[in-house]
Structure 1
Amino acid sequence: MTDFHRIKRSVLLSLLFTLASSCIAHPLVQSGLESGEENNLLGLLLLGGPSLLSDADPGFRRMFVTAGTTTGEMNILGPGTPIENADAFCNLDSNNPDPGSLFKAMLHVGASSGRRGPCSTPNCSGGASEHVDWVMTPDTEYRRSDGTTIIGKTNLNAGIFPVDSTGLAISFSGSSGDYWSGMNSNWTLAIFNCGLWIQGSGSDGIFGDPTATNTDAIAVGFNDCGGPLHLLCVEQ
């Protein structure tokens, strides 16, 4: 749970306590309570308080591979930029485990050019400061779409997994479905990226294997940009 959510929870519980105490102290309420019942009522109100705070951070984020596929020419998916269209593709996909949450596509679109990407140097030697609109955060646990299968925790100083060293605890997905990534195995922008996702047949783009636990998880080969592949979507 983040500091923000802890503070919000504390403030809301304090307000709930004040409200409950005020209600119980009211003469009309007191007249209807037997001795000791006011304490029981206050306790019930406070015990019920946390259930009102359903937006508390669960402490992890989910990932899923889309059921649908797209070519590398993502600028034609919708009216937005390629990355905006890819994000919309994620959120509208039938594999989305929670339409009430926001998911973003794990694509490298050039961190140094202000689009989206994790690293401008191999494995983010400069830490999270290299992230641009990146989909993962440092020191965060990620799970599969079922919400229980733990994939692993990102590095302490950057929102990436150590795929080139210890690897993933569990793969992103239990079923095959290669996805567009545009990344090298060290999380930097690959030269094969479908022209930053605006080119179709005749260009190539790097893809990842969601069933792998090593570097293949983000960069296993390249595919013609006119061919259909999935997207890997990450909860925000």
Structure 2
Amino acid sequence: MKKSHYVPILVSVLLSACSSGSNTQNTSSVNNSQLAEYKAQLKYTTSITSGAVLGNPAATRQQSFVSPTRGVILNSIRVTLFNSTNCSYGTESQVITMNGGAGVLFPAGTYTSTAASNLSLASRFSGESVAAFAASSVRFDYGYNAVGDQESGWVSADCIESGIGNFDPNPPEVCTNDQPCGFNSLQIVALPESFVPAIFVTESQFTGNLQAEASTRNPSGTFNGLTGADYLCQTDSNLPSRGAGSLWRALVYNNSSTTTNINYYRSDYNTLIAKATGENLTFISSEGDYSLINSIGIAPALVVWTGLSTNSVTTCQGWTDSTSSDGLVGLSTAATTDWGVVTPMSCGSSQHLYCVQQTN
């Protein structure tokens, strides 16, 4: 490809955040919140190893999460029921969110569901718990408060096949007050100390008509170029399971996908890509250029739609046309400015997308 000399263009973004708090600072309304009530129903041990759960036969069909050494402040736990067996995006049947106001402190240790907490949780869904028992899969999402320089956002547990029920009999039965209530399988979630957002490169490739690409995959949806790009990100197989409960937006021209002064990581949630500086899509290094600390992707190098430039807008007619004009692309393994802009490519060609996890 012939390299073009473009620089990423400024794009405005929106930012929202939540306040922090702890049990010692919480008002009575927070301590009496749904999240605090749910916490009180969980079995708690100070151990932060999986043996705290695995060593208890009665807990082998329970859902546990491990709070790290410094503890975590959660403002909510969200539980989603799905009609699919793999918690697929778009198959959600019911969602309940147990809010904790300004935040509930979960000190270091392991928190394990109980028959009482599961029955109470199931009863929160409409249909007198039947929906929870009949769900094909279920997912827990943990809402982190903004603390210090950390942002608020969702950290997701892996999908659990089947809903909440009494899985001791064969076949499983609906649980009640006088019989066990658990999950189809054991789950132990190691929560991170804080929420950090990631950027990944899609597995799939798309023409420059991102509107049509999304409509083909979801004929009942209504998309434009940008919302189509976002949908393609949200449903891509490379989306990390830890971010399954978050919103994702495509990093393309004229899409507010990044937030000012936020550090972004690869989908391993360990490798820092860069900090988004200013109200724009650019990442400015300490040298003052548009390079990254680390590339967004790893080998092999993939070509990615971006449309980013300062001297022309080259976006396949706003990502709605694969037959005319060009779209600017970047290289996924580049840490130089080539990550965002290398050259124009035909809008009829198929390229990847960068996808950005959103803060709350």
What TM-score results when the alignment is normalised by the length of structure 2? 0.45
- The one of 99, 105, 124 equivalent to 1:50 is 105
Structure 2 counterpart of 1:171: 295
TM superposition shift of 1:158? 4.7
Q: Does residue 1:182 correspond to 2:312, yes or no?
A: no
TM superposition shift of 1:75? 2.0
Q: 1:90 to 1:157 in 2, by over 3 A?
A: closer
8 Å CA contact retained: 1:63, 1:142: yes
Which segment drifts farther, 149-158 or 217-226?
A: 149-158
TM superposition shift of 1:160? 2.6
8 Å CA contact retained: 2:258, 2:281: yes
Q: How does 1:24-173 map to 2 (within 5 A)?
A: 50-51=105-106, 54-56=142-144, 57=152, 58-77=194-213, 78=215, 79-97=222-240, 98-109=243-254, 116=255, 134-155=256-277, 158=280, 160-162=282-284, 165=289, 167-173=291-297
Structure with more of its chain in helix, by fraction: 1
Deviation per residue, 1:125-179 (Å, 9 max, x gap): xxxxxxxxx1111110100011111112121565530166162111111132211
- Partner Cα separation in structure 2 for residue 54 and residue 12 of structure 1: 20
Query: Which secondary structure does the structure 2 equivalent of 1:182 belong to?
Result: coil
Q: Does residue 1:223 correspond to 2:345, yes or no?
A: yes
8 Å CA contact retained: 2:251, 2:281: no
8 Å CA contact retained: 1:201, 1:227: no
Q: 1:101 to 1:10 in 2, by over 3 A?
A: same
TM superposition shift of 1:191? 3.0
- Partner Cα separation in structure 1 for residue 290 and residue 223 of structure 2: 37
8 Å CA contact retained: 2:290, 2:337: no
Structure 2 counterpart of 1:208: 330
8 Å CA contact retained: 2:250, 2:354: yes
Deviation per residue, 1:36-64 (Å, 9 max, x gap): xxxxxxxxxxx895239941133521000
Report the aligned-residue RMSD: 3.1
8 Å CA contact retained: 1:139, 1:158: no
Identity of aligned residues (%): 26
Matched to 1:68, the amino acid is S
8 Å CA contact retained: 1:60, 1:143: yes
Matched to 1:102, the amino acid is L
Which runs of 5 or more structure 2 residues have no equivalent in the other structure? 1-15, 38-70, 73-103, 112-140, 145-151, 153-193, 216-221
Structure 1 moving runs of 4+ over 6 Å: none
8 Å CA contact retained: 2:198, 2:357: yes
Query: Which secondary structure does the structure 1 equivalent of 2:197 belong to?
Result: strand
Query: Which secondary structure does the structure 2 equivalent of 1:61 belong to?
Result: coil
Query: Which secondary structure does the structure 2 equivalent of 1:151 belong to?
Result: strand
Which runs of 5 or more structure 1 residues have no equivalent in the other structure? 24-46, 110-115, 117-133
8 Å CA contact retained: 1:183, 1:189: no
- Partner Cα separation in structure 1 for residue 31 and residue 237 of structure 2: 44
Q: 1:16 to 1:210 in 2, by over 3 A?
A: same
TM superposition shift of 1:211? 1.0
Matched to 1:74, the amino acid is L
8 Å CA contact retained: 1:192, 1:222: yes
8 Å CA contact retained: 1:190, 1:206: no
Deviation per residue, 1:58-112 (Å, 9 max, x gap): 3521000000010001221213111111101001000000221110001114xxx
What TM-score results when the alignment is normalised by the length of structure 1? 0.67
